[in-house]
Each structure stands twice: as structure tokens, then as C-alpha cells.
Amino acid sequence: MNMKVNLVKERKEKPAWDDCGFCKYYTDHMFVMEYDDSQGWYNAQIKKYGQFLIDPSALVFHYGQASFEGMKAFYGVDGKIRLFRPEMNLARMNQTHERLAMAQFDSEFVLEAIKKLVVIDKEWVPPVEGMSLYIRPFSIATGTVLGVKRSDKYKLFVILSPVGAYYPEGVKPTKIYVEDKYVRAVEGGIGGYKASANYAGTMKPGEEVLEKGFSQICWLDAKENKYIEEVGTSNIMFVIDGKLITPSLERGTILPGITRNTVIQLAKEWGIPVEERDLSVKKVFKAAEEGKLTEVFATGTAAVISPVGLMKWKDKEVIINNQEIGPLSQRLYDEVTAIQYGQKEDTRGWAPVIG
């Protein structure tokens, strides 16, 4: 497939880097391609970022066939722009498409499109430590025959937005609330995929948790309400007795995070025992009472590592590591960000230089 490139004549004015927040501003260009059953993917183009027309009967509005991804481009200390394990995001997006009966796409082609798009809008990659250019690929069903069945048409977009440092005032451990009323995902459902529908159901529980004074929600399994799954839009890890323990992906209810995968690989390389397995909230609290729980942290593209300082479950509450970032959390954060910002040699081929 060819890719048309239509550059804007006049670039937008860039925001002040310290006013970027999270996805407040979008860059000059976007990528879009279309699909229909008769011709496959076609009409790939990089064009001006902007609104587009869509039919009110487009199936995405009715039955929610929509997927998305989140990744970043970094401005390195050497002035080069790097991505971080982008092929994993595109592979995961195709897995989401498969589960939602959406058309598969050529992930190498879309990765090339992303690289081209970021290079075209490279002035928007903030040259500021801790900041990055957020990359949001997403896809929607655009077929207009309103039966409850897979769409025959789709659009896939990539948009870009400069985003601020996650910890502008230094790392602050979060307070998490273990949810015992709502659930996020069931076995056999779509929790293991980046389907937009997964996120719709988490808004209300998330708001209730904020109202209670906590920063994040910790999801338990839907069947027994016993095993820890994820925290907000991150995976979760525990250091118990010197071992790094994280819920396994086996049930299909947890998103296979790219940061999760990165952290597991690094920990193994550093000789830290890693266990991917069921972990009940009861056992976590027991380990805390016995002084064996030394660190808890969430992993995700947004913050890389987000230490947890306090956990509440029913009437119990535990403080972790004196509400400070622990040594493993700090080491992992330093290692991953050093690779992303080109401060450390990328020996694993994780951070391709694209411009």
C-alpha cells in the first residue's frame, strides 16, 4: 500500500512545554487509513490533524467495536528521537482487533507510518527531561448497516500529543483502594485486550474511589473477588520476601502490559526471582503484617513505575515502605527511562532511533 503525505502549509503554534499536561494539545498531522471488506486496507495518508465526517449509523457508536493503543516518542540527551518497543503495541492492537472481530492490519506498515508521522511532527517531541510525545493509534468500526454483527468498514488513526512529565515534583507513591463492589473483567471476556469498551465501565468505580480519597482502584478477579488483577490502567507488582510477584496473564482478564513485560525481563536479568501467578489480596495483607511486603508498584507506559504507598481493602489498611519509593522500583524506573532517553546504551533493541 502506498502512503500519501499531505503536509500542512502553516504549522500550529506550539504550547509552552510546561503547559502540556496530558493530551491537551495535538500536533499538526495525523495518520489515517481505511478498510472495507472488498478492498482491504486502503487510502493510507498522513494529513492535517483535524475533524472528519462520520455517519451517525457508524457501528462504533452502537456496538463499540473500537480499539486503541498508547505509546511514546522520547527526545534523547543526544538530540535523537526514540520509540520504546513499538512493535509490541502494534502486535497487541492486532490481537485486540482479532478478539473484536475487526480486520487485521499490516503492523509493519503502520509502524512505518508512525515513524514517518513522528519525524514529520518532530518539533512537537518536547526536548525536556521526563516529557514525551504520546502516540495514540486507534481504530473504529465505520460500517453503517445496523445489524449486530462485525462491521465491513473500519478506520485506523494515529494522533500525537506532547505530554508532561508524570512526576513533575518527584515520585509520589499512590494510595490504592481494593475494589470489592465492581469488577473490570471476566474470564472469557475482553479484559486482556485494549478494547475501548473496557474503559467505559471503569469510569464510575474510578470516580467513587477518588471520592473516598484514594488515587487508584485495584481490581480483583470477578469470579471469587479474591485475586489481585490490575491497578487503574496499569499492571501491578509486589516484592514479597525478595521475590517479584505479579498476577499471571493466564485468565485473560489482565492487559499484557509492555512495561510489565519489560520489568519482568529486567528483573530476571538482574537475578531477582520473578513469579507470575495468582496472588490473593488476603496473602498480600498477611505478607504486609508479617513485614515481608517491601514494595508495591504499578507499571505502565504513562508513569513507567508508579510506587504504591498505601493499600486499603475492606476495613484493613497497610502502609508500604513508609510511603516512599523502594529500591527495586527506583532501579527499574531509572533503567527504563535511561534507555528511553538515550542515557544508557540500548543493548536489547528496545528503543529504535527514528530521527
Binding site for ligand PLP (CB under 6 A): 70, 230, 233-235, 255, 257-260, 299-301
Computed from CA positions of residues 20, 25, 29, 32, in that sequence, does the dihedral angle turn out positive or negative? Answer: positive
| Per-residue CA distances from 25 to 137, 170, 184 (Å) | 16, 24, 30
Closer residue to ligand PLP in complex, CB, 84/105: 84
Question: For residue 350, how many other CB atoms are within 10 A of its CB?
Answer: 18
Question: For residue 238, how many other CB atoms are within 10 A of its CB?
Answer: 25
Closer residue to ligand PLP in complex, CB, 120/185: 185
Least distance (Å) from ligand PLP to the CB of residue 142?
24
Closer residue to ligand PLP in complex, CB, 102/255: 255
Closer residue to ligand PLP in complex, CB, 45/337: 337
Q: What type of residue sits at position 41?
A: W
| Per-residue CA distances from 177 to 35, 207, 213, 224, 279 (Å) | 42, 12, 9, 18, 16
* 140: Cα within 13 Å, side-chain hemisphere: 14
Residue number of the CB atom closest to ligand PLP: 257
Closer residue to ligand PLP in complex, CB, 5/249: 249
Least distance (Å) from ligand PLP to the CB of residue 156?
18
Least distance (Å) from ligand PLP to the CB of residue 138?
12
Least distance (Å) from ligand PLP to the CB of residue 166?
12
| Per-residue CA distances from 325 to 176, 302, 319, 328 (Å) | 15, 17, 12, 9
Closer residue to ligand PLP in complex, CB, 143/206: 206
As a whole number of angstroms, the distance between CA 319 and CA 275 comes to 23
Closer residue to ligand PLP in complex, CB, 164/300: 300
Task: Identify whether the C-beta of residue 258 lies closer than 8 Å to the C-beta of residue 89.
Answer: yes
Least distance (Å) from ligand PLP to the CB of residue 85?
9
Least distance (Å) from ligand PLP to the CB of residue 245?
17
Least distance (Å) from ligand PLP to the CB of residue 153?
26
